Structure 1
Amino acid sequence: MKKQVLIAGGGIAGMAAALGASHAGWDARLFERAAVFSEVGAGVQLGPNVVRRLQAWGLQKALQQVAAVPQQLVARSALSGRVLASAPLGQSMVERYGAAYVTIHRADLHAVLHSAAQERADIYINPGQEVTELLGTERVTTIRTSANKVVEGDALMLADGVWSKLRAAVLGDPSRPRVSGHLAYRALLPMADIPVGWRSNEVTVWLGPRMHAVHYPVRRGEMMNIVVIVEGPVPQDLEQWDHAANAQVLEQALADCSSNLQDLIRSVPAAGAQWRLWPLSDRAPIQGPDAMAQGLVGLIGDAAHPMRPYLAQGAGMAIEDAAELQRALAMDDLDIGLRLRRYALNRWERNARVQARSIRNGNIFHATGPVRWGRDLAMGMLGSRLMDVPWLYSGEGSSASTL
């Protein structure tokens, strides 16, 4: 009889977990609070380490139909606008790491995963049903849903995000995610509404004191995703992550920045589009495998290791988690608890390293004074060597192969 994993959460992490379990020969029952599956947000960058995993699930063609493949990564000074360094992407990444570096709208990535899950007969998707209670996690896992249904499975994966309501019951950790003090303003514009000089097939990062901006193409290059992250007061209702943002407040925050960057920022309201505001929260880098699995219950993605976006690997680490989950669940000679333990052992160090590097990158991106001058000098001297991340892009997901 086939084993069955229950999955709490239907976002990118949950869909990826379901695909991983299915490819391991398990049934997967996924429960999502929303009545209609959708993924809000803006753009996502996927390094070759992530694209290789999507290819392994047969999703290369679906990905190509919705993603963009930037040809270059460019870092600029947000104050002067001058280029600090650049690095090739495109075919160079394929040659070095076996897959492209792609940029994609979060909703499109979710749709690719959702469509793939719907096509598999052993994945059962249950919208409008949130997992509200863990009734037992010893010999089997038993849950109760918001529809008052009681469901049993052989294992349970928590994929309910940074504000997971179930995490504390599994880990015995009642702490809330920590507030970073960083606010992300996000917008999405048709490429035709972008100032002509910035219509490009590049990832451009602007580095400034206590802020940075990034923009890149999505949806086959037809649209541009723009993100500006500034340090400032954080709204009280953190769990309501998507807010209507005031364009004037953002423009004031960038008053000392390059006129080119300011023109790009002003193009958003000029096109009739809105900035959306996302206060960033995370947790400290995880300290061991117990943070990713306990007994018959595992955690995946932001439920386990929420991270700041300064390495562009939040969604990527969730997909890597799912690929490792697939390998672990397929170990039929091991008890299920040992399979999840193996999953956690092979993932926690890499996730902790990415969390720590993301925090470090944020400090470098937002540096002030002599640290900022040293950063700019180093980027000018070392260029693409500083912008490449071989340990990340070539890693196979386990601690043994990446640390």
Structure 2
Amino acid sequence: MAHTKNADKENALVVGGGIGGLATALALSKVGYETTVAEQAEAFGEVGAGLQLGPNAIRILDSWGLLDKVSQIGFHPENIIMKDALTGEEITRMPLGEEFQERYGAPYIVIHRTDLHAILLDACRAAGTRLLTDTRIEEVTEGPEGAVAQAADGRRFEADVVIGADGLHSNLRKEFVGDEVVASGYVAYRGTIPADAIEDEQDLNDVVVWAGPGCHLVQYRLRAGAVLNIVAVFESQKFLRGEENFGDVEELDAIFADCHPRVRHSVEHIGRQRRWPLFDREPADFWGEGRVVLLGDAAHPMLQYLAQGCCQALEDAKTLEVLAGRHSTGSATPWPQVISDFTEIRVPRTGEVQTRARLFGEICHADGGSRLMRNELLKREDLNLFNYADWIYLDRIQPLIDEDTRTHQAAYA
């Protein structure tokens, strides 16, 4: 069965119904495109726990009218704090209050992954997005006037453009890049507990990163502060030795055994039913062409140390919205040019975030003399963390909108 294009309205097929895919469908619907999301699972949903949304992501959610919902169900932390996981001493902090919000034009919000996904899913439904489950897209071919996506069950989908947002293990990426995921050797355990179950209320209103040798622990509130999200990450020695079943609970307990009592206490509350090996890929300079392109984790999967995986997927979606929106009325969208412009803008940006995420992981997990040097440098009284955060939080999208406005004003001058 073939699902044909709407002859009266340009349409986009988004492959993958995660946060990046839903955000892209919503973004394109905002500028007049008919959107379809093809999700291979039996139902739309997300697994995992907390997400940190920096102001670069919050500005975008606000532009889609979703900030109130995100604010209500998320949590506004007061600071981001780094502490030494062995001694418990504070290394540095970034206040997230008025000065931060004025500088970056938006707050910092933490939210449960499933909550953000549900907000985007509801927004897509309200926008009229066609939402398909049990739909695994295996191949995409294109012609001069459109693209055809072939599903595993034989269905064919015609679209003006196909966007691959099918995650870390993207099936579509195999066609364009052909690389393999990179195992970091680190493993994460995640969980949430009721916030009122924590006896020590110190720092509960902050995002706290406990940095240790080859490990770290992150904690912050979720769901309007009702639950505490805890993530423990460590380098698996069993992985380094080439053992297949690496990163087990025995390793988890062993590596945090010498940490500060508060860290050990938090580790006791972490869910142990599932371990999450951490992967990324090498930055790629080619995400597609013509009428097919990758975005989100399919294009630039990154380690979580800068909390930017979701944020960069939202930046992708908003950039595509701005570029496609320039052509949403009048003649047909020149998708090959739009995709060329999109990758020219986004490839350097996301490649930098991927690379710096790896670097920050090394800083966070420093040992020996490197750990002591890190602590001393970050405790300097003259250190202004805003200077180190500008590159990631300052607005990269508004200049595109301004450029678009100038172009239209010139056309009608």
So what's the TM-score if we normalise by structure 1? 0.90
User: 2:25 touches 2:124 (CA, 8 Å); kept in 1?
Assistant: yes
User: 1:210 touches 1:368 (CA, 8 Å); kept in 2?
Assistant: yes
* Identical-residue share of aligned pairs (%): 34
Q: Give deviations 1:342-391, integer Å, cap 9, x for gaps.
A: 11111111111111110110110011222211110011105762475011
Q: Name stretches of at least 5 consecutive residues in structure 2 with no aligned partner.
A: 1-7, 402-413
For residue 313 of structure 2, what is the amino acid of its counterpart?
A
Match of 1:391 in 2: 391
Q: Give deviations 1:231-280, integer Å, cap 9, x for gaps.
A: 11349999xxxx99854431211111111211121234xxxx54531101
For residue 99 of structure 2, what is the amino acid of its counterpart?
S
Is the aligned partner of 1:133 residue 2:144?
A: no
- 1:353–1:314 Cα change, 3 Å: same
Is the aligned partner of 1:314 residue 2:309?
A: yes
Match of 1:179 in 2: 183
Q: Which moved more, 1:61-70 or 1:374-383?
A: 374-383
TM alignment of 1:208-287, pairs within 5 A: 208-232=212-236, 233-234=238-239, 247-268=249-270, 273-274=271-272, 276-286=274-284
Match of 1:88 in 2: 95
Q: Give the root-mean-square deviation of aligned CA atoms.
A: 2.4
Following superposition, the deviation at residue 166 of structure 1 comes to 1.4
State how far apart, in whole Å, the 1-side matches of 2:266 and 2:310 are: 26
- 1:83–1:383 Cα change, 3 Å: farther
Is the aligned partner of 1:149 residue 2:155?
A: yes
For residue 277 of structure 1, what is the amino acid of its counterpart?
R
Partner secondary structure for residue 276 of structure 1:
coil
- 1:135–1:294 Cα change, 3 Å: closer
- 1:137–1:364 Cα change, 3 Å: farther
- 1:245–1:190 Cα change, 3 Å: farther
Q: Give deviations 1:182-223, integer Å, cap 9, x for gaps.
A: 111111111122342356110000111111111111111111
State how far apart, in whole Å, the 1-side matches of 2:103 and 2:325 are: 30
State how far apart, in whole Å, the 2-side matches of 1:350 and 1:213 are: 27
Match of 2:19 in 1: 12
- 1:382–1:391 Cα change, 3 Å: farther
Following superposition, the deviation at residue 87 of structure 1 comes to 1.5
Which one of the candidate residues 33, 36, 40 is aligned to 2:40? 33
State how far apart, in whole Å, the 2-side matches of 1:383 and 1:192 are: 36
State how far apart, in whole Å, the 2-side matches of 1:85 and 1:208 are: 14
Which one of the candidate residues 274, 297, 300 is aligned to 2:295? 300
State how far apart, in whole Å, the 2-side matches of 1:85 and 1:346 are: 33
Following superposition, the deviation at residue 73 of structure 1 comes to 1.1
Match of 1:98 in 2: 105
Following superposition, the deviation at residue 310 of structure 1 comes to 0.8
Q: Which moved more, 1:86-95 or 1:367-376?
A: 86-95
User: 1:183 touches 1:234 (CA, 8 Å); kept in 2?
Assistant: no
State how far apart, in whole Å, the 1-side matches of 2:89 and 2:253 are: 20
TM alignment of 1:320-331, pairs within 5 A: 320-331=315-326
User: 2:104 touches 2:395 (CA, 8 Å); kept in 1?
Assistant: no
Q: How many residues align?
A: 387
For residue 186 of structure 1, what is the amino acid of its counterpart?
R
Partner secondary structure for residue 282 of structure 2:
coil
User: 1:30 touches 1:125 (CA, 8 Å); kept in 2?
Assistant: yes
User: 2:187 touches 2:247 (CA, 8 Å); kept in 1?
Assistant: no
Partner secondary structure for residue 275 of structure 2:
strand
Match of 1:52 in 2: 59
So what's the TM-score if we normalise by structure 2? 0.88
- 1:103–1:277 Cα change, 3 Å: same
Following superposition, the deviation at residue 328 of structure 1 comes to 1.3
Which one of the candidate residues 110, 117, 135 is aligned to 1:110? 117
State how far apart, in whole Å, the 2-side matches of 1:258 and 1:30 are: 46
- 1:175–1:327 Cα change, 3 Å: same
State how far apart, in whole Å, the 1-side matches of 2:68 and 2:156 are: 38
Q: Name stretches of at least 5 consecutive residues in structure 1 with no aligned partner.
A: none
User: 1:283 touches 1:305 (CA, 8 Å); kept in 2?
Assistant: yes
For residue 229 of structure 2, what is the amino acid of its counterpart?
N
Match of 2:408 in 1: none
**Structure with larger Rg:** 2
Match of 2:410 in 1: none
